Structure 1
């Protein structure tokens, strides 16, 4: 759970990246570098063609992406203007991969990602009408053509879950199964932060600075009201941990927990949103929060 409203990276854009020194078909450019590393791009002179162009430079053998899946990727995004072809966004500049919901991206990116497999590198030249159109973000003009290189590192499907056991903590009870149910007692919350691993996974421990892929539910203790949850829609969400991106309680509870774990935490204001609360979620500065989090993956 981020400190404030969840905001995706600059672009809901992505693609897949690939081989070394590979000519990108009729795009007449070259993309070099190892899969998962920052690509080396040699642009030709002039502007790209007016229509959407997609090329798969490397075909992976992993899981296939479908609508409502979340792709974990490394990517770079350029404005292709035939002059400086400037970089406008990159996961490499953030230090962690990015998470992109297939079916919720720019039209050209959805077409580029849908049906691709983990381990693939894809490039796409995207005209304005397949990109941001007339309302682009800062740094991109409404008539700009875009170019992306994207390496698909992972795919997490709708409904993914730890399916862990249930358990309890300070009277809060959590059922087992793929989508846990949370029951909060009719009592005052504890004053301090507490957490418990209800089901311990067998993956690598999550490290500070990694991107965690999660399913979760957050409830306000005092009103027994769910204020945010991924399970109803089924699509996982990803957050960087250990650097202050998420609330302090998530960093404290999740760093060091093995992938595949289900974690229950009780988060007082000092470990949550503090005195300001989070009005968009209906959270007051005095509210204690309860989270159940499934740690699906770490990158």
Structure 2
């Protein structure tokens, strides 16, 4: 290709796409799944001959499986949201993995209803537990792939291991439920109530991995000043724009940096910063001016 030839355009620029559209699609599908879960609640047979209390008692297995499916899906949605808050770009495999995840999640209303209506039948509850196991494993694989493929903002190793451990809770509990379904199917779904217990136990680990001193240090450094040099042309442009906006030059720079941070999903946490500002004040060169802003 000669130097005058136009650059080739990648017909599949997945690596250049931002994840916003995939996030919106995921949220829409999850909202539909969590809404239609309630359709699995049905009155028992011969409800006309039963009192309201007897109907509620008869529907307890359905209500339990509905609640389990709803709140576990809500936890998965939160995990996906936290993961994609770090994702900066997509590739074909991540897109396919997300669609596989949604396919497995779409089966939850069916399997939860089947288990609720047949909570004493081993195959029915086993299908529900297997569905939960697959969903948890796919979320786990997604987190590992996003970080190993450098599709997300780098995070500290201890933070990565903590999220990795937390994402294994649902698969671990699902395996316990599968084992329990072979012994006593009607009580196997009780295993999912151990999920909050496991997450509470991880809070102690989190407090050791992320000590409070880190956040206090970041707060104490918030008022530090950064001095940097600007070319005369840039100073003129900043002054003109700041005059039009009726704000100071320093405020304009802060607006620009904030907008860039939001559009590029920059991790500004003290443990996961992508860049460090030099604390040494640069020397002022002739023909250049300096601007001092507070962080």
Q: Same fold (TM over 0.5)?
A: no
Q: Tell me which protein shows more strand as a share of its residues.
A: 1
Hey, which of these two has a bigger chunk of helix by percent? Answer: 2
Tell me the TM-score normalised to structure 1 length: 0.21
**Whose Rg is larger?**
2
Question: What's the TM-score once normalised by structure 2's chain length?
Answer: 0.21
